[in-house]
Amino acid sequence: MNVPDTVPSSVPGRDWYARPVLDVARDLLGATLTTRTPDGIVGLRLTEVEAYDGTTDPGSHAYRGPSRRNATMFGEPGRLYVYRHLGLHHCVNVVCGPEGEASAVLVRAGEVVDGADLARSRRLASGVARTDRDLARGPARLAVALGLDLSDDGADVTAPEGHVVLRHPLVEPVETPAVIRTGPRVGVSGDGGRADLFPWRFWLDAEPTVSAYRAAPART
C-alpha cells in the first residue's frame, strides 16, 4: 500500500473511542480510514465529521432508544455503525463514548489518499463520473468510495488486521497545523429547527473535499 511507513501513525484502541463524542469527533479529523476488500485497498483522510450525542441528542438515531437498526450504536465504541438512508445511500458512523451511551461520529467527507483508482471505479459503477475531489465528498459518496455497506455494520476499526482500520497520526504536521472549524450539522431536522444549538459539525479549513452545507428542510 502507498501509506508510507515514515509517517508515524497508530491504530487507536477501544479506549480512544470511549471518550466524549465531541473530543473524538475533533480528533478524527486528519485520521485515515482504510478499507481492505478482495479488489483492493482504499484509504481516506477524514476532513469532515459530525457528532451525535447518544440518547440525549434529538438529532441522533439513538434518541428514541435501542432498536434493531441502531443496536450497534449501543454496543462497543470503536465499531462502525452503517445504515441506509432514503433507501439509496449508506452513511458511515464510528461508535464512541462509553459503551451503552450510543454516541457516534458521522463520517461526512474525506480525501482519498490511497487506492484512488479503485475508489474512482466504484463511483463510476454507482453512477456518474466525478472529479477526484468528489470521490468521497458527502457521506453517501464516501461510503461508495470505501466500498462500505450494511454488511459492514459493526465492523471493528481498532483491529490492525481487520478489513476496516482507522489510523491516527501520532504527531500533527508542524508546517501545516490543522485549522478545525465548527458549525451546525447538515440535514438534521430532529433538533426542533435549532441546528444552531448543536454546532457539532467539524471540518478542516480550506479543504476542497468538505461537502457543501445544506440546512435541513423545515419540519412541520
Partner DNA sequence: GGTACGATTGTCT
Partner DNA sequence: GACAATCGTACCT
Q: Which of 47, 70, 158, 209 binds DNA (CB under 7 A)?
A: 70
Which range, of 36-44, 52-60, 111-119, 169-177, touches DNA by CB under 7 A? 52-60
Q: Is 98 helix (H, G, I), strand (E, B) or coil?
A: coil
Q: Are 3 and 180 in contact (CB under 8 A)?
A: no
Q: Which of 14, 19, 36, 84 binds DNA (CB under 7 A)?
A: 84
Q: Is 145 helix (H, G, I), strand (E, B) or coil?
A: helix
Those residues whose C-beta lies under 8 Å from the C-beta of residue 4, and which sit 6 or more positions away, are none
54 vs 71: CA distance, rounded Å: 12
CB of 48 to DNA, least distance (A): 11
Residue 4 vs 87, nearer CB to DNA: 87
Decide: is 52 part of the binding site for DNA (CB under 7 A): yes
Instruction: Give the count of beta carbons closer than 10 Å to the beta carbon of residue 170.
Output: 9
Q: Which of 188, 195, 204, 210 binds DNA (CB under 7 A)?
A: 188
Residue 120 vs 185, nearer CB to DNA: 185
Residue 128 vs 170, nearer CB to DNA: 128
Grid cell 458527502 is found at 138
- What DSSP line would sit under 158-211, residue for residue? T-TTSSEEEEEESS--SSS---EEEEPPSS--TTTT-GGG---EEEETT-TTSP
Q: Is 151 helix (H, G, I), strand (E, B) or coil?
A: helix
Grid cell 475508489 is found at 119
Decide: is 14 part of the binding site for DNA (CB under 7 A): no
CB of 6 to DNA, least distance (A): 33
Decide: is 43 part of the binding site for DNA (CB under 7 A): no
Looking only at residues 124 through 153 of this chain, which bind DNA when binding is defined by CB under 7 A?
126-128, 130, 134, 138-141, 150
Point out which residues bind DNA (CB under 7 A). 50, 52, 59-62, 64, 67-70, 73, 83-89, 91, 93, 104, 106, 126-128, 130, 134, 138-141, 150, 185-190, 211, 214, 216-217, 219
